[in-house]
Structure formats: C-alpha cells, structure tokens
Amino acid sequence: MNTEVIDFIQKYKVITICRRLYGQDLLNLVRALHQGGINMVEVTFDQSDPECIKKTSEAIQMLVENFEGTMKIGAGTVLTKEQVRATKDAGGSYIISPNVDIEIIKYTKELALVSIPGAMTPSEILTAHNTGADFVKLFPAGDLGFDYIKNIMAPISHVKLVATGGVTEEILPEYLKLGFAGAGIGGRLTDRKLISTGDFEEFTKRAKGFSKVVMEY
C-alpha cells in the first residue's frame, strides 16, 4: 500500500482534471494552480486519440520532473493495463478510472500505485472497495444530488470517496462535511478560455479559493 500518496490525497483533497492539455499550456496551468495551493493533477488519457498513451505519458513525466515531489501526478480515464503501466513508467502516483474494472484495480495495486476507480451505485462502490481500491470516485456527483449521496453514504461510510462532476469552491465544503476524502475538479481549474488568453493569474486565484476550503477541513 502506497501510504504516502494516500495520506497526500487525504491532506490536499483537490485533484485537478486536465483533459487534452499538453506541453507548455499544461505546464503553465499547473504552475499557476500550484502557486494557489493545488498539489495534485490528473492527466487524462484521451481514448479517441490513437496517440493518447504517448501524449499522456510525456505530460505526466514533464510534470513529475518539473515539480520534483511537491505535487503528486496521476492519470485519469484509465481503461487498460497498458495505460496503467505507462502511468507507472512515467512516474505517476495514482490511477483514476470512470468505471469499476476489477482487473485494472488489481493491476494498479500490483504496480504499487493508488487506485481510484469511478462508481455511482452502492454495489459498484463496494465492489471497487472490496477489490482493493484506495478511494472510490463518486461520479457524476453533481448530478446525483445530496439526498442520494447521504442515503448511500450511511451504510458505506468506511469507503473513502472522492466527489467528481460539478464540484465548485462553493459546494466543496458540503462534500467535505459529509466526510468525502476529496474531490476531482475540472472546468473551474482548467477553463480553456483563460488558457487561450494567458490569464493564468485567474487560475491561481481560483486555486486559492479551493485551497482555503481544504485548510478548513
């Protein structure tokens, strides 16, 4: 068990989801986020791109080398063992998937990476947990609603959940109050309009908003 990475995730809580971002744009974004207190990034595999393994591996390696342990970098939308292995070889620390795939969870653990599969129902969540997942990504959290979330959390409060989908600075405290271990954040921290205009200071400002919430929990 990679307790260092598990503890890191539980401490810093916010994982930024970076989709189809590579090279200098990605590096500039992550630097801005890091300045605002964000310490985790998920680089996703774009399954529609035949070059996704190469691109994602290079992106993870670039971030790992540039931040030298001050951030933990992982991969998202991981669907195959080849992608798990590529993440490990690039220096990634955790594997995030949109679904519960028992073979992917087991292989992730074999390679001493932290496993964060995605699930929606109690059955999926417990299957992932019982297979050895370190955290379970509840997705799409924003669409499920807090009534549903409270109902399913009552009998499965022992599972470390990460809320993903529609989480903002304003709503993050609600998830943390319920006992979520963390959250995956997309649009608010990867706004392509801001990237295209080079307004990276706004990302630092938004990152500070999320970091302030995390510090209160």
The CATH number of the domain where 83 resides is what?
Answer: 3.20.20.70
pLDDT, residue 217, reads 85
Name the band, by pLDDT with cuts 50, 70 and 90, for residue 179. very high
Name the band, by pLDDT with cuts 50, 70 and 90, for residue 141. very high
Query: Which of 206, 216, 217 has its CA nearest to residue 38?
Result: 206
CA dist 60 → 85, 108, 113, 199 (Å): 13, 16, 14, 23
Scan for tokens 């996704």, then name that residue: 52
- To 10 degrees, the CA torsion angle through 146, 149, 150, 155? 180
* Boundaries of domain holding 128: 3-215
**Whole-number mean pLDDT of the chain?**
96
- pLDDT score of 123 more than 80: yes
- Number of folded domains that form the chain: 1
Share of the chain above pLDDT 70, in %: 100
59-116 residue pLDDT tens:
999 999 999 989 999 999 999 999 999 999 999 999 999 999 999 999 999 999 999 9
Tokens for 107, please give them: 């292989």
Full DSSP string of the chain: --HHHHHHHHHH-EEEEE-S--HHHHHHHHHHHHHTT--EEEEEP-TT-TTHHHHHHHHHHHHHHHHTTSSEEEEES--SHHHHHHHHHHT--EEE-SS--HHHHHHHHHTTPEEE-EE-SHHHHHHHHHHT-SSEEETTHHHH-HHHHHHHHTTTTTS-EEEESS--TTTHHHHHHHT--EEEE-HHHH-HHHHHHT-HHHHHHHHHHHHHHHHT-
- pLDDT score of 1 more than 80: no
Name the band, by pLDDT with cuts 50, 70 and 90, for residue 6. very high
pTM, rounded to two decimals: 0.96
Antiparallel, parallel or unpaired: β 136-138 and 182-185: unpaired
Helix 52-67, helix 23-35: angle, nearest 10:
40
